[in-house]
Structure 1
Amino acid sequence: MVFLRAALIFILSAAAHGAERLSPPAGFMQPPEHRAAKAVNCPAAPAPFTGVLDFQSKYAGSDSARATLNPEADATFRQQTKPITDMERFVSRQVTAWAQSGNPSNVTCVVNALAGWASAGALTGDAKNHTGRSMRKWALATFSSAWLQLQDSPQHPLRAYPAEQANIERWLSTLGDLTISEWHDLPRSKVNNHSYWAAWAIMATAVVTQRRDLFTDALDIYRTAMQQIDQDGFLPNELRRRQRAFSYHNYAIQPLVMIALFARANGVDPEAGNHDALRRLGDQVIDGFTDAQPFAQKTGVTQDMSFLQHPTNLAWLEGWCQLYSCDDALRQRIVHLRPLQNTRLGGDLSHLLATTARQE
């Protein structure tokens, strides 16, 4: 039934394509930079993952805080999910390379790869556990946010691939329905960073497929997130992660910033929720970069700050400075880290968002 619903909605959406078109933020519609083109390396794409989405959690054996990494379980998780994460990197790298050079060979490479996964019905199998559902929505976030950059470019690089484009977008629509069925309407006590990432995947897919129903569903989850942010800018469900509470606040805000940018691009005020709760959350996280003591006081334990060693975890700041004014100290932090890239947020966010960042 999910597949039939997706096909019918896709057809109806295509018929209404010209009415109130959903748009990504302007940065996703940029032409490529046309830097000096390198020879295109298009390796063989990972084989489509068509199996059951049943994966080991990297926190297996941890207590209810789910904050103690199990190295053996983590190794198993990485091995089991390698075909999916390899495909995410493959797609993101090819789209980023195209954005830098404008080389049509990169487009051919990513179109053929995604068309192969679409034709095989990859990632549409049963999700047997939370980790399986998580992998589906993370992959969808990567594929849809990358595809948008080709779909909405003024160069129209997909014109040469009408059949493949239709096939890929039908498949993304199906994955969107599966993601909605797994992450929408959860009890509020269960809504946390995973739901926010699902909402971001759904939002990007809504714009790809021009599906207003998905757009509305993504906003529903976003608004729930805004209501979860307390007056001090904390997320109670992320504070449960004890020593990783600060890390998970940083992780939770990443998709919320992207949803806010896409909402604003389509006439929805992202600051309206719970008295601009997103700003409170962002300010608390940003202040934590220099002083994480408030998180330690809330949880009663010293915070694990290791996530700050990986710039991909700070790529959302490019979007933050587009939503809100950033002071000189934060702008300098970002400049020294560029280019900031995050595969699941769209790839090179410095390219996509930095040119339109707000200034004080």
Structure 2
Amino acid sequence: MTVLARKTAPALLALALFGGAAQAALVPPQGYYAGIEKLKTGEGNFSCEAAPKPYTGSLQFRSKYEGSDKARATLNVASEKAFRDSTADITTLERGVSKMVGQYLRDGRPAQLDCVLTWLDTWAKADALLSTDYNHTGKSMRKWALGSMSGAWLRLKFSNSQPLAAHQAEAEAIEKWFARLAEQTVRDWSDLPLEKINNHSYWAAWSVMATAVATDRRDLFDWAVKEYRVGVNQVDDQGFLPNEIKRKQRALAYHNYALPPLAMIASFAQVNGVDLRKDNNFALQRLGEGVLAGARDPSQFARRAGQKQDMDDLKVDSKYAWLEPWCALYQCVGDTQQRKHEMQPFNSFRLGGDVTRVYDPNVQSKK
């Protein structure tokens, strides 16, 4: 053995012994391991509807804010209807998958799982949502859909009940499709100028994070963390996001909308050994506290944005689904904990479904 070989052999041995630990398989937070609540026989009231038609066309959609000024805060009713109509099959897929996964994990009926797999496999085989002919609204729909599907998929993939064990071929095909969608999402949302990075980028990063864990892709995980850090580094000392303040009367609503993907990414990163809680002097905590204060009294947001705030979204409990991962990160107490309990359970299809079941499973579901 040469001198060089003798010197490098111990290093290579150490790499062999410890390299695997450094790149351990990616995992979700503990709540994703929950099994089926109660196995029920037969199909009950469940009937699998036909899968929505796979969307394989151009991702060129009208914006619901079409014709608005640069604040992009004034709803255009006609263009919103056109948008809803043209994206109906995509949204049906998102909502349907999330709902059926939730039903399956409650009831354990095989027909529910079969239906989820049929829907996703149908779209995967069609290479749906992969068009490179897209506008901003189109690439937004792609990343929203991916986050919804991968978020729900994680609950199946990691469940202690192992529902996918007997469906490995379908699962592999679906996950390959997810990975392709994530790779395109990375291309869609990378290298934007800072003034263009807002809640859309955070939702893109969440979709990529969920897919990273579903497919055990460290490169996707690293990209999601990088985009998260770009986001939280924009939070100022008062807890404001400058690019969401630009939304004028909807500034507070968009700060609230920015929180779910950021909190989910931080939660997923933490369980994989990357602690993002302290980034930019606890920016995520500061952002959440600012939104909660704004929901009680929006005057500070009104002063900063220069307009009275539209509070409609802030009156919808499900819009606060970010409280589940956020409180897991920062251990909410007192008034914040009480507000969370009053609004639970949180169900957000864009986060994969029943977020409360993942983060606060002892909460009794409200019927």
When normalised by structure 2's length, the TM-score is 0.90
| Shift, 1:59, TM fit | 0.1
User: Is 1:62 matched with 2:68?
Assistant: yes
Distance in 2 separating the partners of 1:248 and 1:179: 21
Aligned-residue offset at 1:17: 12
Q: Bigger CA drift: 330-339 or 94-103? A: 330-339
Q: Give yes or no for the alignment of 1:131 onto 2:137.
A: yes
CA drift of 1:339 comes to 2.1
Unpaired runs of 5+ in structure 1? 1-15
- Pair 1:26 & 2:20 matched: no
Higher-Rg member (1/2): 2
State the shift of 1:320 in Å. 1.5
Q: Does 1:79 align with 2:85?
A: yes
The answer on whether the counterparts of 1:45 and 1:90 sit within 8 Å (CA) in structure 2 is: no
**Cα distance, 1:240–1:35 mapped onto 2, change above 3 Å:** farther
How far apart are the structure 1 equivalents of 2:47 and 2:115? 9
Mind listing any 5+ residue stretches in structure 2 that lack a counterpart? 1-19
CA RMSD of aligned residues (A): 1.8
Bigger CA drift: 95-104 or 200-209? Answer: 95-104
1:97 to 103, 106, 110: 103
The alpha carbon displacement at 1:356 in A equals 8.1
User: Which residue matches 1:324?
Assistant: 330
Q: What's the secondary structure of 2:260's corresponding residue?
A: helix
Match of 1:171 among 170, 177, 200: 177
Match of 2:321 in 1: 315
Partner of 2:233: 227
Instruction: Give the drift of 1:338.
Output: 2.3
Following TM superposition, by how much is the alpha carbon of 1:44 offset from its aligned partner in structure 2, in angstroms? 1.2
User: Could you tell which deviates more after superposition, 234-243 or 347-356?
Assistant: 347-356
Residue 337 of structure 1, aligned match among 327, 338, 343: 343
Partner of 1:7: none
Q: Alpha-carbon deviation of 1:104?
A: 2.4
Separation (CA, whole Å) in 2 of partners of 1:199 and 1:224:
11
Mapped to 2, the partners of 1:261 and 1:300 lie a distance apart of 33
Q: Distance in 1 between matches of 2:348 and 2:35?
A: 20
- In 1, Cα distance between equivalents of 2:126 and 2:176: 12
Deviation at 1:351, TM superposition (A): 0.8
Contact 2:65–2:79 (CA<8 Å) still a contact in 1? Answer: yes
The 10-residue stretch of structure 1 (344-353 or 318-327) with the greater mean CA deviation from structure 2: 318-327
Question: 2:344 and 2:233 mapped to 1: Cα distance?
Answer: 32
For 1:36 and 1:237, how far apart are their aligned partners in 2?
49
* SS state at 2:25 partner: coil
Matches within 5 A, 1:178-257: 178-257=184-263
CA distance in 2, matches of 1:54, 1:311: 32
Q: Residue 302 of structure 2 aligns with which residue?
A: 296
Contact 2:40 2:109 in 1 (8 A): no
Correspondence for 1:353: 359
Which residue of 2 is the match for residue 147 of structure 1?
Answer: 153
Count how many residue pairs are aligned between Structure 1 and Structure 2: 342
TM-score, normalised on structure 1? 0.91
The C-alpha deviation readout for 1:109-161, integer Å capped at 9, x for no partner, is: 10111001000000011242100000000000001011111111111101111
Counterpart of 1:4 in structure 2 is none
Check the 8 A contact 1:340/1:349 in 2, yes or no: yes
Shift in alpha-carbon separation, 1:73–1:17, aligned structure 2, 3 A = farther
